[in-house]
Amino acid sequence: MRRHGRVPARAVYARACDESPPNEPLTARRRCRVSGPDPRYSAWSLLRARIAGDGYWRPLWSGRVLADAYDVVVVGAGGHGLATAYHLARDHGVRRVAVLEKRLVGYGNVGRNTTIVRSNYLLPENHYFYEDSLRRWQSLSRDLNYNVMYSPRGVVDLALSDDDWPALARRGNAMRLAGIDAELLDRAGLERFVPELAPRRARRFPVLGGLLQRRGGTVRHDAVAWGYARAASAFGVDIIEDCEVTGVATAAGIASGVETTRGFVRAGRIVFATAGHSGLIGTMLGTPLPIETHLLQAMVTEPIKPLLHTVLVHVFPGHGEAYVCQSDRGGIVMGGHLDGFPSYTREGRWDRLEEVVQGAVDLLPQIAGLRILRQWAGTNDMTMDGSPIIDRLRYDNVFINAGWCYGGFKAIPASGSACATLVATGTAPDLIRAYRLSRFATGHLLDERGGGPFPVRL
C-alpha cells in the first residue's frame, strides 16, 4: 500500500478493493482491514519524542504522491474540503480519498476570518444546522486530538435603539423554541456581563441591551485547518498541495475525473469546496450558479492587556455592521460588512476599513488610540438569499459545497459531516435538504436577513 505515516490503532477500513458504479453508495463497497499504531498526541508521545530525539516527528500530511485514481476527489483544502474528506474516511470508511489544493492547506478563507462561531439564527433551516455545528465545535478538539482553541466566551448582538428590540426578541424566542440557548439582556444585565460597555465614557450610540448566546465564541482558525488535515491524513486521505484543478472530464454522462496541473486523475465522485471561487466552478461545468464573489475584510490592533472577554456585534445606522472581540494574543479583532462589489483581489477598500474601525470605536471608545497592526480580506461566495448550497452540480457524481456568505467558518463541522453523508450515500441528510440548488428555481429561498434577492447586504 502506497501510504506512509501512521494509521490509527483501532481497526479501520483501508482503500476500496473493488470498483463500483459511481451512483452506488460508497459505504456498500467491499473493503480491506488494516491496523497500526495510534498517532494521538499525549504526554507519552512527548516523552517518546524526547527519548527518540530528532526525526521522531513526521510531516502530518505533506509528501503524499498523487495517485492515478480515487473513489472521491475533494477540490479545496480549506475547512469544508478537509472536514468532508475527514468524515468520508472516518464515518463512511472511504479510504481512496484525495484533497487537491491549488496552494497550501489553510491558505484560503479558513485562515482569513475573525474566528467567530455561533448558532443564533432566526430561520429553522439555519439555526438547526448551525446549532449542530456549534455542538460539534464543543467536542472538536477531543475528536481530532488537536486543540482548536474553542473559547465559549459568548456572542452578544447589541440593541442601540428601541427599534432593535423586536428583531432581537423574535430571534431569541425562535432559538429558545428550538432548544438553543438565548438570553435577552436589558441594560443592567448587559453591563454585568460586559462591564466594558458601562457608561463610563461618552459614546455616539447608547447601549440599551442585547441578545446573548453564551456557548458562542471563537475558535483558532489555522488550528482548525491543521487539525482536520492531520486527522484526515491519519485515516489515509491524500492531501496534495500545489495541485490546481483546471477542468473536469466526462464520459457516458458522468464525470470521470479531473484535469490538474499534475496530470489527469480519475475519480468516482468529485466534491468542489472552493469557497470564493465557487462561481468559477459553475462556469467550468457549464452550470452558472446564483453566486457572486465579494470581499469581506477584517483587521486587528496591536496587543493590549485583557479588555474584552466576549464578542460584540451590531449593525450601525448609516455605516454598516461591526463586530469586535479580543484575540488570545491581545489584539482587538474587528470586522464588518462586505466591501460591496465583486472582486477576487483580497485587497479590501480603505473606506470600508474606516467604517469598521469607526463602528468598533463607537462601541468601545477605550480602543480609539490603538494602532492597526494588520488588515486582510477573504473572498466570500455570496448567494442570492444569503444561505449555502450543498448539492449535486450537473452530474450525478459531482457535488458542490458553496455559497457560505458570512457563515462559512462557523459551519465547518456540520458541513463536513453532512456533505460527506451526501457524497457517500447519495442521499442528503435532513439537516441540509433546504440547501439544495433547486430552491432558486422553485422559490423556496432561505432569506435569513430578509433583504430580498440581493447578494450584498448593505
Among 348, 383, 418, the domain boundary falls at: 383
Same domain, 379 and 392: no
Q: For 211-227, write each residue's pLDDT tens digit.
A: 999 999 999 999 999 99
DSSP conformation class of 212: E
% of the chain with per-residue pLDDT over 90: 65
Residue 150 confidence (pLDDT): 97
Residue 57 confidence (pLDDT): 79
The verdict on residue 156 lying in a domain is yes
Residue 44 confidence (pLDDT): 85
Helices (H) and strands (E) in the chain, counts: 10, 20
Q: For 279-289, write each residue's pLDDT tens digit.
A: 999 999 999 99
Residue 453 confidence (pLDDT): 64
pTM of the model: 0.89
DSSP conformation class of 66: P
Same domain, 198 and 324: yes
Q: For 306-351, write each residue's pLDDT tens digit.
A: 999 999 998 765 556 889 999 999 999 999 888 888 888 878 888 8
Residue 36 confidence (pLDDT): 32
Q: For 56-80, write each residue's pLDDT tens digit.
A: 877 888 778 999 999 999 999 999 9
DSSP 235-250: TT-EEE-S--EEEEEE
**19 band by pLDDT with thresholds 50, 70 and 90:** very low
Averaged pLDDT of the chain: 87
The verdict on residue 176 lying in a domain is yes
Residues of the domain holding 351: 150-218+292-383
Cβ atoms within 10 Å of 339's Cβ, excluding its own: 22
Pick 176 or 51 by higher pLDDT. 176
Residue 109 confidence (pLDDT): 87
- CATH of residue 205: 3.30.9.10
- CATH of residue 86: 3.50.50.60
**29 band by pLDDT with thresholds 50, 70 and 90:** very low
Residue 421 confidence (pLDDT): 98
Q: 263: which strand partners?
A: 260
% of the chain with per-residue pLDDT over 70: 88
DSSP conformation class of 456: -
Q: How far apart are CA 230 and CA 82, in angstroms?
A: 9
Strand boundaries in 2-124, DSSP class E: 12-16, 31-34, 69-75, 97-100, 116-117
Q: How many domains does the chain have?
A: 2
Same domain, 277 and 405: yes
Q: How far apart are CA 260 and CA 19, in angstroms?
A: 23
Lowest mean pLDDT among 33-37, 235-239, 426-430: 33-37
Residue 312 confidence (pLDDT): 96
Q: What are phi and psi of 38, to 5 degrees?
A: -85, 125
Residue 11 confidence (pLDDT): 27
**83 band by pLDDT with thresholds 50, 70 and 90:** very high
Q: Is the pLDDT of residue 193 over 90?
A: yes
Residue 200 confidence (pLDDT): 63
The verdict on residue 458 lying in a domain is no
Q: Is the pLDDT of residue 3 over 70?
A: no
Residue 450 confidence (pLDDT): 73
Same domain, 268 and 307: no
Q: Is the pLDDT of residue 291 over 80?
A: yes
> Alpha carbon of 193 to those of 175, 181, 308: distances in Å?
20, 16, 11
End-to-end alpha-carbon separation of the chain, Å?
53
Helix residue ranges, H only, 293-392: 350-363
Among 365, 383, 401, the domain boundary falls at: 383
Same domain, 41 and 107: yes
Q: Region 83-94: what's the mean pLDDT? A: 97
The verdict on residue 125 lying in a domain is no
Q: How far apart are CA 402 and CA 381, in angstroms?
A: 7
The verdict on residue 119 lying in a domain is no
Residue 299 confidence (pLDDT): 94
Q: For 158-183, write each residue's pLDDT tens digit.
A: 998 888 999 999 999 999 999 999 99
Residue 48 confidence (pLDDT): 85
Q: For 371-395, write each residue's pLDDT tens digit.
A: 999 998 888 899 989 899 999 999 9
**449 band by pLDDT with thresholds 50, 70 and 90:** confident
The verdict on residue 327 lying in a domain is yes
Same domain, 241 and 256: yes
Residue 129 confidence (pLDDT): 97
Same domain, 194 and 296: yes
Same domain, 56 and 184: no
Residue 419 confidence (pLDDT): 98
**7 band by pLDDT with thresholds 50, 70 and 90:** very low
Same domain, 27 and 81: yes
* Angle, alpha carbons 26-28-30 (nearest 5°): 95
Same domain, 212 and 304: yes
Same domain, 52 and 184: no
The verdict on residue 447 lying in a domain is no
Q: 215: which strand partners?
A: none
Q: How far apart are CA 282 and CA 287, in angstroms?
A: 5
Same domain, 236 and 282: yes
Residue 28 confidence (pLDDT): 45
Q: Is the pLDDT of residue 17 over 80?
A: no
Q: How far apart are CA 351 and CA 362, in angstroms?
A: 16
Q: Region 189-209: what's the mean pLDDT? A: 84
**49 band by pLDDT with thresholds 50, 70 and 90:** confident
The verdict on residue 190 lying in a domain is yes
Q: Region 428-432: what's the mean pLDDT? A: 97
CA-based nearest residue to 333, from 282, 285, 375 = 375
Q: How far apart are CA 319 and CA 368, in angstroms?
A: 17
For residue 39 the three cell numbers come to 498517532
